[in-house]
Amino acid sequence: MVDFEFNEEQKLFRESVREFLAKHLQPVWTKIDEEHYIPTDLIYRMGEQGLFAIPIPEEYGGQGGDFTLAAIAVEEIAYHDPSVAVAVYTLLNNAWPFILYRYGTEEAKQLILPEVGRGRAFFGIASTEPHGGSDVAGTRTRAEKRGDVYVANGEKIFISGVREVMEQLDLGGWYLIARTGTVEQRHRGISGFALLGKKSGKKTPGIEYSILNTIGRHGISTGMLTLKDVEIPKSMLVGEENRGFYYAMEGFTLARILVAAANIGAARWGLEQAIEWSKGRVMYEDQRPITRFQGVSFRIAEAAMELEAARLLVYKAAWMADRIYIKREPGLKPKDLNFYSASAKLKAVQTSFNVLSTAMELFGAASYVKETNIARSFIGALSYYVGAEGAQNIMRYIIAREVLGREYVK
């Protein structure tokens, strides 16, 4: 029979995460958004709480958990920081370290993963380039092999964690997607590297960076990296040369589940705000709450229904990821997750956008001032609606490809 209940371990984990976040994140999330900065001591505390590298085995400094637990953590973090900035920081430090664990060299894993698990390092993704975001196969950044190093040149944009790596933490970097083959090879000529922007507090020579002035999700930085003859040790090659595109696709598939979890967390917060506001907002001589108008109550009903549907899809995707990657059930392959991951992100992001839009409409003019905080959440979630971790139409393409067959959607 289908069981829609979380097990005891998952329930206890959620409660411990909620208790931690209510004390350390909820009181400061608006300050984080205003000051454009996640305090380093908060990052350290989150590491101590076990919120990073959740699906990484303990022998590599991870928490020895799974993607369901990671999704629970990210959902709760987004609920307690509905600007989703801290959730983004968290989901990146769960999805991409897992790709490093799965395909990286022993040296790279031992150097990076334990520090990510402790909250002392950041490891995200550097794929997007100025000429286009979703066309990963069209990567122009090059990495040429010269002896025991690869020399990288190129530009990456809309990269999360640039300030955190280059100015805040002593160790950190990204899964860098760079071309090691010819342009004509497209995705078959791309490799992945563990590019360190900083190691032991020292910046890597040849990396220049700038911080973009984003309209929301301010707590985590979004920036641009320029690589000029950056030397990457051979030991930082992730997996086989010219196979990096395929590893990246696995990483995006896993990250999208956690992106979806962040969106339902923010939407849950927004719906609760809309409900409380609508109950207390009264009109006319009899001072009736606006919830008595179907134009309000029906909107809330639809939002609650859509949120529950999205939430079920998110945890179905996390459950599938655990079957494939953690339990390693026979007969299942990473590609079997594509439909569920893309569907979860498509549904959760659209739902979050709709729910938070509804909240803004119900708040009316009050939503247009910072003090109600609705706009902070709406603009944060908007970052995923417009394309982070894959545009919504890319999700539709993936779903169509899985349903119809690749040969029918080319």
DSSP letter at 204 equals P
- Both 135 and 80 in a single domain? no
Q: Are residues 361 and 326 in the same domain?
A: yes
* Chosen domain end from 121, 153, 180: 121
Specify whether the CB–CB gap between 356 and 381 falls below 8 A: yes
52 is a domain residue: yes
Q: Are residues 192 and 104 in the same domain?
A: no
Amino acid 53 reads A
Task: Give the C-alpha separation, 190 to 282, whole Å.
Answer: 60
Q: Give 53's DSSP letter.
A: S
360-410: per-residue pLDDT in tens?
Answer: 999 999 999 999 999 999 999 999 998 778 889 999 999 999 999 989 987
Identify whether 1 is part of a domain. no
Would 250 be classed as within a structural domain?
yes
Compute CA 334 distance to the chain's CA centroid, rounded to the nearest angstrom.
19
State the residue range of the domain holding 381.
244-408
**CATH number where 93 lies:** 1.10.540.10
User: In the beta sheet, which residues pair with residue 154?
Assistant: 227
How many domains does the chain divide into?
Answer: 3
375 and 342 in a common domain: yes
Domain boundary among 121, 139, 166: 121
Domain check: are 230 and 262 in the same one? no
Last residue in a domain, options 65, 93, 121: 121
Which H helix or E strand runs over 152? Answer: strand 149-160
What type of residue is 318? A
| Cα–Cα distance measured from residue 265 to residue 246, given in angstroms and rounded to the nearest whole number | 29
CATH code for position 361: 1.20.140.10
Contact 236, 196 (CB under 8 A): yes
Identify whether 215 is part of a domain: yes
Phi, psi of 241, rounded to the nearest 5 degrees: -60, 140
* Residues 169/162, Cβ–Cβ less than 8 Å: no
130 lies in the same domain as 116? no
Q: What is the CATH number of the domain that holds 204?
A: 2.40.110.10
Global pTM reads 0.95
With respect to residue 16, please indicate whether it lies within any of the assigned structural domains: yes
Domain-embedded: residue 3: no
Which run of H or E residues covers position 12? Answer: helix 8-24
**Whether residue 400 sits in one domain with residue 313:** yes
The rounded mean pLDDT for the chain is 96
Q: Is the same domain home to 92 and 217? A: no
pLDDT digits (tens, 9 = 90+) for 164-194: 999 999 999 999 999 999 988 889 999 999 9
Q: Are residues 352 and 388 in the same domain?
A: yes
Beta-strand runs (E) in 189-348: 190-199, 202-203, 207-211, 222-233, 237-238, 282-283, 288-289
Q: Enter the tokens of residue 118.
A: 């402790």
- Based on the fold, state whether residues 255 and 393 are members of the same structural domain: yes
Q: pLDDT for 374-384, tens place per residue?
A: 999 999 999 99
